Chains A and B, each alone.
Chain A
C-alpha cells in the first residue's frame, strides 16, 4: 500500500472543519461560565467574559491554547513520575501482560470446548452470559481482595485486564479451532495423523487469525480494565492514577489531556496488534486491493499440459 490513500483528503477536510467549529463552540460553552465567574468577583486576569472564556480554571471546553499548555506540562520531562509517557508505559505493559495471560488461559478453555462437547455444554452458557454482564463492575472489588492476599503493584491490574480480555479471546480461539472445514479434517485422517498432529498442523494455525481478531476487541477492553484497576486502588503509577488524581483536584484541562493521551494509547495498542498480525500471518490476503495473479502464473496455467 504505497500509494496515497483516497481517504487522506476527505479526512483532512473533516479535521479542519471540526477544528474551525471548535472555536465558536468553545466560546459558546464557556462564556456563561466566565460571566458567572466575573459576577462572583473572582480574581481573574481578564476583563470581559469573552476574554475570560479561554482562561477559566474549569472550562466546559478548554481552549486550544490551554490544551497545548496542558500537553507541554504533562508530557515533559519524559521520565518524570508525574508525566504522561512513563505512566502510559506502565498502563500499556499491564494491559499487554494481561492480554498474554488471557490468551494463555483462553487457549486452554478453547481447547477444552473443542475437544469435549460435555465441557462446552457445561461452561459455554456462562462464558456467553458473562459477555452480556458488566464485568468491569467486579474490578474494584477484585483489586481490594487481591491486595489483601499480597498481590500488589502492577500484577493485580494485569490480572484484571486478563480477566476482562479472557472471554472474547476464549470464544475467538474456540471459533478458530473449529474453523477447519470437514474436508481438511478428513485429509488429516487419511494421513493417519494423531490428535496432537491435527491440532499442531491444522487447528492451531487456523485459529491464529481468529486470535488476532479477538485481540483487537480484547485490547481495548483490557486497557479499560487496567485503568479502572488503577483508579480503584492506591496506585503509584499509571494513567488511572493520573485520572484519579486530577479528577479529585478538578483539573479539567489535565483531564482532557489525559483523555486524549489515553485515546492515543488505545489506538497505538490496537495498531500494535495489527502490525503483529501482518507480521505473523503473511498468508492473509490483502483485502483492500484486489490482488491480481502473478504474471507467470497466468502464462503457465495455459502451458501446463504436457
Chain B
C-alpha cells in the first residue's frame, strides 16, 4: 500500500529537518570550539555530543519516511548520505572530546587531509594492486572459470569428478593459500595475480556450471525439435541461460579479487600496493594513511562492482530480477 502523504506526515518531516539541523548544529559547534584544544571535554559536553547525535539520528528517521517511496535513485539516496554524514561528524566530535591520540584513531578530518597529502603514493599503490594484481588475476580467473565450466557441463565425467572438488576448494581460506603462493611465485605482482585468479576461479566455475546445466527440459526439447547441434544448443540456449549466473559470480569476483590482492600483499610485496601500505602503516601506527588506503580501495571496489553490474543490466536486462 502506498502511504498517502497526510498533513501529519508533512509536519513530522518538517520536525525531522528541524531536529537534523539542531543536531548537526550542536555537533559542528562542538567541533569548531574544540578544534585547537588539547584537553578532554567535560562530562556535560560529552553528553551534549550524545544529544546532538541522537537528535540528528531521530531527525533522519523522520525525514527518511519522506523518501521511502521515491523512485529517483539519487533523491532516494538522501537518507543514506545523511546517515554517513552524521556518523562521520559524530566520530570527529567524540574523538576530539576524548582526545584520542591520532596515532590510535585519527579523526575523519585528519584522514581527509592525509588523503590529499599522500594521494600520489596511494595512486601508485592502487595501480599495482588493482590493475596489475586484481584485474589481471580477475580476467585470467574468470576466463579459465567459464572455459572450465563449459567443459564440465559438456562431459558428465568431468562434472562428477571435478565439480565436487571445486565446491570444496571454495571453502579454503585464501590467507592460508597466500603465503605459499608468494613463496612459490615470488614477491612481485605476479604472485598476487595468481592468488586472485585462484580465488575468483572456483565461484565462477560453480555458478557458470549451474547456469549452463539448469535449463528447462522443455527448452532442450525445443532445441532438439529444431535439430540444433551441440554448438547451437550452447549458443542459443545454455549460454544465454547462464548469463545471469555468470554475472553473479563476476560481481562476487570483484570483491574477492580486491580481498585476494590485498591479503596477498600482507605476505610479501615489492614495496608497493595498498595491502602492503596498510600492513606497514598499521604496524607503525600510521592509521591516517591506513584509512586513506582503505578509502581508495573502497572507492575502487564500489566502482568496479557497479561497472560489472552496469554491464549485467546491459546484457541481461530481460531477466526477472530487473523487472
Given contacts A131-B255, A247-B179, A262-B176, are A14 and B282 in contact (CB under 8 A)? no
Contact of B258 among A6, A134, A265, A269 (CB under 8 A): A134
Q: Collect the chain B residues with CB atoms within 8 Å of residue A129's CB.
A: 298, 302
Given contacts A122-B61, A137-B278, A141-B282, are A11 and B160 in contact (CB under 8 A)? yes
Residue of A nearest to B258 (CB): A134
Q: Collect the chain B residues with CB atoms within 8 Å of residue A266's CB.
A: 171-173
Residue of A nearest to B181 (CB): A259
Assess the A132–B179 pair: CB atoms within 8 A. Answer: no
Residue of A nearest to B68 (CB): A117
Q: Is A170 an interface residue (CB 8 A)?
A: no
Q: Is A270 an interface residue (CB 8 A)?
A: yes
Shortest beta-carbon distance, A137 to chain B, in Å?
5
Question: Which of chain B's residues 135-194 have a Cβ closer than 8 Å to chain A?
Answer: 157-158, 160-162, 164-165, 168-177, 179-180, 183-184
Contact of B61 among A9, A119, A220, A262 (CB under 8 A): A119
Q: Is A93 an interface residue (CB 8 A)?
A: no
Contact of B183 among A117, A126, A255 (CB under 8 A): A255
Contact of A118 among B68, B183, B274, B290 (CB under 8 A): B68
Contact of B175 among A11, A227, A252, A256 (CB under 8 A): A227
Assess the A134–B266 pair: CB atoms within 8 A. Answer: no
Q: Is A177 an interface residue (CB 8 A)?
A: no
Q: Is B10 an interface residue (CB 8 A)?
A: no
Name, among B60, B171, B254, the residue most crowded by chain A CB atoms within 10 Å (CB to CB): B171
Contact mask A4-24 → B, CB, 8 Å, 1/0? Answer: 001101110110000000000
The distance in angstroms between the C-alpha atoms of A269 and B262, with both chains bound, is 24
Contact of A224 among B161, B165, B263, B294 (CB under 8 A): B263
Contact mask B235-275 → A, CB, 8 Å, 1/0? Answer: 00000000000000000001100110011001100000011
* Interface residue tally on A, bucketed by range: 35 or more
Question: Which of chain A's residues 121-141 have a Cβ closer than 8 Å to chain B?
Answer: 121-126, 129, 131-138, 140-141
Assess the B173–A121 pair: CB atoms within 8 A. Answer: no
Assess the B160–A9 pair: CB atoms within 8 A. Answer: yes
Assess the B104–A126 pair: CB atoms within 8 A. Answer: no
Given contacts A121-B79, A223-B173, A224-B175, are A137 and B161 in contact (CB under 8 A)? no
Assess the B278–A125 pair: CB atoms within 8 A. Answer: no
Q: Is A267 an interface residue (CB 8 A)?
A: yes
Q: Is A79 an interface residue (CB 8 A)?
A: no
The distance in angstroms between the C-alpha atoms of A122 and B87, with both chains bound, is 12
Assess the A262–B255 pair: CB atoms within 8 A. Answer: no
How would you classify the secondary structure of chain B's contact residues: helix, strand, loop or mixed? helix
Q: Is A111 an interface residue (CB 8 A)?
A: no
Shortest beta-carbon distance, A185 to chain B, in Å?
12
Interface size on B, residues (CB 8 A): 64
Assess the B258–A10 pair: CB atoms within 8 A. Answer: no
The distance in angstroms between the C-alpha atoms of A135 and B263, with both chains bound, is 11
Assess the A140–B301 pair: CB atoms within 8 A. Answer: no
Q: Collect the chain A residues with CB atoms within 8 Å of residue B35's CB.
A: none
Contact mask A201-242 → B, CB, 8 Å, 1/0? Answer: 000000000000000000110011001100110000001100
Q: Which residues of B contact A (CB under 8 A)?
A: 60-62, 64-65, 67-68, 76-77, 79-80, 82-84, 104-105, 157-158, 160-162, 164-165, 168-177, 179-180, 183-184, 254-255, 258-259, 262-263, 266-267, 274-275, 278-279, 282-283, 285, 287, 290-291, 293-294, 297-298, 301-302, 304-306
Return the 8 tightest CB-CB contacts between A and B, nearest first: A10-B161, A118-B64, A10-B160, A132-B305, A262-B176, A14-B161, A140-B282, A125-B80
Sample of 12 more A-B contacts, CB < 8 Å, known A122-B64, A141-B282, A263-B172: A10-B157, A10-B158, A118-B79, A122-B79, A123-B83, A132-B254, A133-B297, A134-B259, A137-B262, A140-B279, A228-B175, A263-B171
